[in-house]
Amino acid sequence: MPHRLLKLVALAGMAALSAAATKPAPKAAVNWNAAVAVTPAGSHVLGNPGAGVKLAEYVSYTCPHCAHFEIEASGPLKLAYVRSGKVSVEVRHLVRDPVDLTVAMLSNCGPKDRFFVNHGMFMRAQGTWMKPLLTASAAQRSRWTTGDLAARNRAIAADLKLYDMMATRGYDRPAVDRCLADGAMAQRLAQQTQDAQNAGVSGTPSFAINGALLAGTHEWTTLRPQLDAAL
């Protein structure tokens, strides 16, 4: 091969290598099911903050229908809607009673990235940790409603074995007690409850899509078609 031709081939090869080296690597897919944000009101949002469809879920931890929704819908929501980045899910609290408040404070305990796993744990095990409510003595119930915030919450957490549940998530008792005594958190939950009531929420679970409360929608079978229509 003539010297000039060899030189041209070498230059072409170098140019190809240079182009390959400067070509940007493909972007890794974002795992939106691991993306958690906190709103100014203190509620937690799962998914793409720029999602075109924003689903808000109003929940109470002592609401059996909320537990049923979590078991039935959390998987399909994450796999078919949140993962794509098209839908985000925000959990807003509507606190109904002292037990509900205690569990809500435990779900919100710790870094924001722990919220949805804590939330799912309490919802899915609701049938277990709520059983002692059926046999609680008058003295126990009195401790749940008298004394300061920390004392009430600690009594509920002990009687319903919520400390044991939090231990499975890596929380020791001092960490749990700090959350149970967090007056600012309790105030945020109370404000979320008031905001939900002001928005017209009268029962849980209830849902809003892009700020519009959905009438007559309290379960996955009626929510899913409305999500699909919003996409």
Contacts of 83 (CB under 8 A, 6+ apart): 31, 32, 33
Look up tokens 């030189």; give the residue.
Answer: 7
φ/ψ bin of 47: left (φ > 0), alpha (ψ from -120 to 50), beta (otherwise): left
Query: Per-domain residue ranges for the chain?
Result: 39-230
Does position 178 have pLDDT exceeding 90, yes or no?
yes
Q: Does position 6 have pLDDT exceeding 50, yes or no?
A: no
Mean pLDDT for the stretch of residues 151-175:
98
Q: Give the C-alpha separation, 41 to 75, whole Å.
A: 26
Q: Does domain 39-230 have CATH number 1.10.40.110?
A: yes
pTM of the model: 0.86
Q: What is the pLDDT of residues 208-230, one digit of tens each?
A: 999 999 999 999 999 999 999 99
SS3 37: strand
